Amino acid sequence: MNSKEFERRRRQLMRMVGADGIAILPAAPVRTRSRDVEYRYRQDSDFYYLTGFAEPEAVAVLVPGRAGGEFLLFCRERDRDKEQWDGIRAGQDGAINDHGADDAFPIDDIDDILPGIIEPCSRVYYTMGMYSDFDTRIADWVNSLRSGLSRGLHTPHEFVALDHLLHDMRLYKSRGEVAAMRRSAKVAVDAHKRAMQMTRPGLYEYEVEAEFRHEFRKNDAWVSYSPIVGGGANACTLHYVENNAELRDGDLLLIDAGCELDYYASDITRTYPVNGQFSPEQRAVYEIVLEAQLAAIEKTVPGNHWNEPHDAAVRAITLGLRKLGLIAGSLPKLIKDGAYRQFYMHRTGHWIGMDVHDVGDYKVGDEWRVLETGMVTTVEPGIYIPGKRNIPKKFRNIGIRIEDDVAITAKGPDVLSKGLVKDPDGIEALMQS
Q: Which residue out of 55, 103, 209, 267 is catalytically annotated?
A: 267
Instruction: Name 138's Cβ contacts closer than 8 Å, sequence gap at least 6.
Output: 24, 124, 126
Q: What is the DSSP string of 344-400?
A: --S-S--B-SSSSS--S-SEETTEEPBP-TT-EEEE--EEE----TTS-GGGTT-EE
Whether residue 99 lies in the annotated active site: no
The continuous run of DSSP H or E covering 128 comes out as none
Q: Residue 249 and residue 272: Cα distance in Å, rounded?
A: 12
Q: How far is the CB of 337 from Ca ion (least distance, A)?
A: 27
Whether residue 425 lies in the annotated active site: no
Q: How far is the CB of 328 from Ca ion (least distance, A)?
A: 31
C-beta closer to Ca ion: residue 258 or 273? 258
Q: Residue 246 and residue 233: Cα distance in Å, rounded?
A: 12
Q: Which residue out of 44, 205, 380, 428 is catalytically annotated?
A: 380
Whether residue 384 lies in the annotated active site: yes
Bridge partners (DSSP) listed for residue 253: 231, 272
Q: Residue 145 and residue 140: Cα distance in Å, rounded?
A: 9
Q: How far is the CB of 195 from Ca ion (least distance, A)?
A: 15
Q: How far is the CB of 384 from Ca ion (least distance, A)?
A: 14
C-beta closer to Ca ion: residue 209 or 256? 256
Q: Which residue out of 33, 239, 366, 389 is catalytically annotated?
A: 239
Whether residue 305 lies in the annotated active site: no
Q: Which residue out of 346, 347, 369, 396 is catalytically annotated?
A: 346
Whether residue 267 lies in the annotated active site: yes
Q: Residue 387 and residue 381: Cα distance in Å, rounded?
A: 20
Pairing mode, strands 71-75 and 103-106: parallel
Of 427, 419, 428, 431, nearest to 197 (Cα)?
A: 431
Are 342 and 372 a contacting pair, CB within 8 Å?
no
C-beta closer to Ca ion: residue 24 or 228? 228
Q: How far is the CB of 285 from Ca ion (least distance, A)?
A: 19
Whether residue 157 lies in the annotated active site: no
Alpha-carbon distances of 327 from 272, 296, 347, rounded to whole Å: 24, 21, 20
Q: How far is the CB of 103 from Ca ion (least distance, A)?
A: 42
Q: Residue 165 and residue 42: Cα distance in Å, rounded?
A: 23
Q: Which DSSP state fits 127?
A: -
Q: How far is the CB of 26 from Ca ion (least distance, A)?
A: 29
Q: Which residue out of 42, 283, 347, 350 is catalytically annotated?
A: 350
205-218 and 175-198 helices, crossing angle to 10°: 140
Nearest 5°: phi and psi at 331?
A: -55, -50
C-beta closer to Ca ion: residue 248 or 346? 346
Whether residue 401 lies in the annotated active site: yes
Q: Residue 184 and residue 177: Cα distance in Å, rounded?
A: 10
Are 299 and 312 a contacting pair, CB within 8 Å?
yes
Q: Which residue out of 357, 361, 367, 423 is catalytically annotated?
A: 357
Q: How far is the CB of 257 from Ca ion (least distance, A)?
A: 8
Of 418, 407, 168, 416, nearest to 302 (Cα)?
A: 407
Bridge partners (DSSP) listed for residue 262: none
C-beta closer to Ca ion: residue 61 or 188? 188
C-beta closer to Ca ion: residue 256 or 404? 256
Q: Which residue out of 403, 404, 405, 428 is catalytically annotated?
A: 403
C-beta closer to Ca ion: residue 27 or 296? 296
Sites of contact with Ca ion (CB under 5 A): 256, 267
Q: Residue 193 and residue 189: Cα distance in Å, rounded?
A: 6
Q: Which residue out of 70, 401, 404, 405 is catalytically annotated?
A: 401
C-beta closer to Ca ion: residue 61 or 223? 223
The residues assigned a catalytic role are 36, 239, 256, 267, 346, 350, 357, 380, 384, 401, 403
